[in-house]
Copies of this chain bind each other. A is one copy, B any other.
């Protein structure tokens, strides 16, 4: 049985070459190292060093021991990392969503429901990634625009989101009572880059449009306010009356951009999530 501190010191000796350098980096004295290495040789019953009066170097056996010391220390640190990570995970409620809007509703509820736990939300553009994450335990729940009908899942509708176009009053389409996506063909449109499935949806359905992407939500809102460029809003993206005076908000007729969100969990976890589902029903 070799104590950890000695194994660590051996690894450091192999790495830094001289005892004095190791003493510096480990913040201990040189004599302490001398004794540690002597003790190590003693416990193993083996010579690990070539010693001249003023020089100590690992011999072949010592290098072997040092390589093994590295392995032991790696396992050691991996143990600490894994345990602390598992602990962190156990204190984290992690979920994934196909769009940002549901997260605005779900995250506050979870924070209140699981007080003291970290709520971690993950916005994805792809259904499959989310379902896989739910299966492997990465996510406790996922939010999609459709239920999962397989027996092992439980799905519950909880939110409705509908897309609108925000147009300058001067825009050629600003007078329309409603729009179709294809009407926007060829337009310049301001768009946020982190909007889950919406991103690929509108890019696919509005041909030849030029999307001006913004990564920062606050920046995007600022530009929307000041620039005469079309942009998107939804029934839930408009908080209060933040609608700029010089713009009009026109609904789309297309059914693809009128979606319902479903909160989905594994059936085996439904029990412990009743509080969440009740809270979602309230709204």
Contact = CB atoms under 8 A, between A and B. Distances in A.
A83 B62 CA distance: 8
B44 A68 contact: no
Given A3-B5, A5-B3, A61 B79 contact: no
A72 interface: yes
Contact of A84 (B1, B5, B45, B87): B45
Interface in A77-98: 78-80, 82-84, 86-87, 90
Contact of A46 (B46, B61, B84): B84
B71 A79 contact: yes
A76 interface: yes
A69 interface: yes
Given A1-B8, A8-B1, A76-B72, A64 B46 contact: no
Nearest to A72: B75
Task: Say which size band chain A's interface belongs to.
Answer: 20 to 34
Nearest to A44: B83
A5 B64 CA distance: 23
Interface of A: 1-5, 7-8, 44-46, 48, 60-61, 64-65, 68-69, 71-72, 75-76, 78-80, 82-84, 86-87, 90
Contacts of A87: 44-46, 61
A245 B188 CA distance: 116
A72 B69 CA distance: 11
Contacts of A76: 1-2, 7, 72
Given A64-B86, A68-B79, A68-B83, A3 B4 contact: yes
A214 to B, nearest CB: 40
Nearest to A83: B65
A80 B44 contact: yes
Contacts of A71: 75, 78-79
A52 B4 CA distance: 31
Most buried by B among A2, A72, A78, A86: A72
Contacts of A90: 60-61
A86 B61 contact: yes
27 contacts: A1-B4, A1-B5, A1-B8, A2-B4, A2-B76, A2-B79, A3-B3, A3-B4, A7-B79, A44-B83, A44-B84, A45-B84, A46-B83, A46-B84, A46-B87, A61-B90, A64-B82, A64-B83, A65-B83, A68-B78, A68-B79, A71-B75, A71-B79, A72-B72, A72-B75, A72-B76, A75-B75
